[in-house]
Amino acid sequence: MSFVKFLGIGSAVPEKILSNLDLEKMIDTSDEWILSRTGIAERRIVEPEVATSDLAYEASIKALEDASMDPEDIDGIVVGTITPDYIFPSTACVLQSLLGANNAFAFDVLAGCSGFIYALHVAKGLIQGGGSKNLLVVGAETVSKIMNYEDRTTCILFGDGAGAAVITTSDTPGILSSCLGANGDGGEFLYMPAGGSRMPTSEETLKNGSHFLRMEGKEVFKEAVKALQSSTLEAIKLADITPDDIDLLIPHQANYRIIEAVRKRLKLPEEKVFSNLDRYGNTSSASVPIALDEAVKSSRLKRGDIVVFSAFGAGFTWGASVVRWQ
Ligand code: COA
């Protein structure tokens, strides 16, 4: 069986900043409350005319350049997102058209904030299964489009962005392990009630805001800490390494207190855990690949390092992956 490695990465965030001070003018909150409870200072928000595929396109072009590849070289596109351009066709198909990636199959993965880790796991399997060589794996979101900016318990947390990676076959191990998990019993704690077949959009759903994201933060918090810890441990066991071997942990960027709790449970020093949460908030599926791109560009992640990705999200879903960076 062939190995799989990363060949290129890229990310994109909108220019417009929504700061805690901006939010103070919109809802009953304070910069101090948001910073101390979440670690978030600001997030990026798209303009109304920008869709998820537009950010995905920008990130993908950069990843393709980084990989020195043309869109035609890509065999398949897998996009993790909870904010697709449409329910159908998939955002991956929209992206395929924007890129002119004429030789690529394309589909979306809907796995909450674990979307990129799920997409990566699936794409790795597609390469190792023998059929594909070069795959584009994307996490892209415009979470601002499903935010209720009158709900102070959710709108302070989320932001928009996209990250993309080109992965390919390799003679030496790149992705050392990858694992996924889910618990559908947790669905009610983080979801968007309306707009699907259970509750199609109606005058009523628009009136009561059922087409916005809803969350019970405390429940999600507890489960996130548990799942991020256990999936990280599972992935490092599968890779036959120990926590001491980790050079950098890139956890899903949801809340600084969640990241800190996981770091302490794994007994990792602060410098081995990457965070850019203060600047982007929770960008859902995009958070791990944006952080990965920044970690590489800032030389926090170097050739030969062991990096671990770990994510948790709506579903509940979770997953982790251990990579020797090449
Ligand atoms: N500004 C000011 N006060 C706020 C507030 C805000 N934006 N949001 C909530 N509050 C208030 C609450 O109403 C509550 O007031 P009360 O005690 O008078 O009822 C108080 O602050 C404490 O609220 P609580 O919900 O206990 O806060 P918390 O410490 O649990 O923090 C979250 C709330 C949402 C920040 C936290 O639960 C969290 O981050 N959860 C995980 C969310 C997440 O990461 N989701 C995505 C996972 S993929």
Asked if 276 is an active-site residue, the reply is no
CA-proximal residue: ligand 1, atom 31 (nearest):
37
Please identify, by atom number, the ligand 1 atom nearest to the C-alpha of residue 38. Answer: 35
Architecture of domain 3-173: 3-Layer(aba) Sandwich (3.40)
- Tell me if the pTM is above 0.85: yes
Residue 124 near residue 326, CB atoms below 8 Å: no
133 lines ligand 1 (CB under 6 A): no
CA-closest residue to ligand 1 atom 32: 217
Determine the distance separating the centroid of ligand 1 and the alpha carbon of 37, expressed in angstroms: 7
- Label residue 234 exposed, middle or buried (CB < 10 Å: 0-12, 13-18, 19+): buried
Tell me, what's the pLDDT at 1? 63
Residue 220 Cβ < 6 Å to ligand 1: yes
Is the minimum distance from the CB of 156 to ligand 1 under 6 angstroms?
Answer: yes
Domain 177-324, CATH number (from 3.40.47.10, 2.115.10.20, 3.30.70.20, 3.40.1350.10): 3.40.47.10
State if residue 218 touches ligand 1 by the CB under 6 angstroms criterion. yes
* Amino acid residing at 135: L
Calpha distance 42→35 (Å, rounded): 9
What are the DSSP calls for 64-87, one per residue? HHHTT--GGG--EEEEE-SS-SSS
Measured at the CA of 273, the angle between CA 217 and CA 54, to 5 degrees, comes to 65
Alpha carbon 83 to its chain's center:
12
Return the H-helix or E-strand segment holding 34: helix 31-38
Nearest CA residue ID for atom 11, ligand 1 = 153
Candidates 181, 139, 187; CA nearest to 288 is 139
Give the residue extent of every domain in the chain.
Answer: 3-173, 177-324
Give one DSSP letter per residue of 170-192, joined into a string: ESS-SEEEEEEEE-GGGGGGEE-
Half-sphere exposure of 279 (CA within 13 A, CB side): 11
- For ligand 1, atom 26, the nearest C-alpha belongs to 218
Q: What is the pLDDT of residue 96?
A: 98
pLDDT digits (tens, 9 = 90+) for 180-219: 999 999 999 999 999 999 999 999 999 999 999 999 999 9
Is-same-fold flag (3-173; 177-324)? Answer: yes
Q: Is 210 exposed, middle or buried (0-12, 13-18, 19+ CB in 10 A)?
A: middle
State in Å: Cα 27 to ligand 1 middle. 14
Determine which residue's CA is closest to atom 34 belonging to ligand 1: 217
Q: Is the CB of 217 under 6 A from ligand 1?
A: yes
List of the chain residues with pLDDT < 70: 1
pLDDT of residue 130: 75
Based on the residue annotation, tell me whether 252 is a catalytic residue of this protein: yes
pLDDT of 156 reads: 98
Asked if residue 113 has its Cβ within 6 Å of ligand 1, the reply is: yes
Catalytic site includes residue 121: no
How close is the Cα of 304 to the center of ligand 1, in Å? 40
Concatenate the DSSP letters of all residues of 199-265 into one string.
S---HHHHHTTTTS-EE-HHHHHHHHHHHHHHHHHHHHHHTT--GGG-SEEEE--S-HHHHHHHHHH
